[in-house]
Amino acid sequence: MEALLSSAFDLLSSYDPIHIRRGLRNLDGLLAKMCLAPAVEKELLGPNRKPEDPVFREFIKLQNGFEWNVAIRLISCLERLLGKKNSTYICGIIIELTVRLTGTQTNNLILSSLDLLQGLLLLHPPSRHLFAREIHMNVLLDLLDAGNSGPVQCATLLTLVTALLDKPQNTRVTFEALEGLPTVTSLFKNRSTSRDVKLKCLEFLYFYLMPETTILTSKPSTPNREGRKRGSSTSSSGSYTGTQHIRTTEEKQKLLGEWLTNVEDLVADLREGTPFAV
């Protein structure tokens, strides 16, 4: 298992798009083999039981340590891809064709990385603690910039949901503090934003307004290096630590109301229609 992960990590750390794509495919294949049990085995175990796969258990155990954690490698890969994507816009008109080709190629790699990251955060919830660090949350917020493609923005919003799911401390100390709400609402209100992205923004805001049930019990670790600051709004940043109480829907409604009108209608729909209910 370590050898497979090591090989994939080496490929992901490359600046060659071909190597990065190969590393992402290797990880995707590894996860697919572990998570997709054969049809016969599923029937024998029943719909509500998971196969006792020692390989899967070993993989999850390895995710508890930094060295073999896949989520942190994917975040680092996204950070490099985002930097490479941004660098193409300052190279001038002379290489305009190269910029377009590189942008499309980079977008595809970003989408694959985000899809894998979503899966990893669902398979291994402790990895969500990574987004209690500003530098990691900033990667997702940067991907929501208006200059990025619609598919990348949609995939980022879904990844953001998995990063905040059952982790109110991530919402308090990084997402809200780094002005994640104005980032999402600005994207939603932007006239150039596609309909699909607006829908994903709306779904995310419904998710954000949902009642929080997880109690904050520990303070997130302090980042070794700070991410890019997005502003100093005291209303959105606050001074939250991991031991403070979670926000109520009413408190979040008031906060969101600073950036968006008719928030009360969203709350009414949330209580009446129960979005995300299973």
pLDDT tens, position by position, 220-264: 443 334 444 454 443 333 444 444 658 999 999 999 999 999 899
> Helices 134-143 and 180-189 sit at what angle, rounded to 10 degrees?
0
- Planar angle of CA 32, 78, 170, nearest 5 degrees: 90
pLDDT higher at 199 or 230? 199
Q: Is the pLDDT of residue 136 over 80?
A: yes
Q: What is the percent of the chain where pLDDT is above 90?
A: 61
Kindly report the average pLDDT of the chain as a whole number.
82
CA distances from 216 to 133, 134, 244 (A): 16, 18, 7
Q: Are 183 and 167 in contact (CB under 8 A)?
A: no
Question: Mean pLDDT lowest for which of 45-49, 97-101, 152-156?
Answer: 97-101
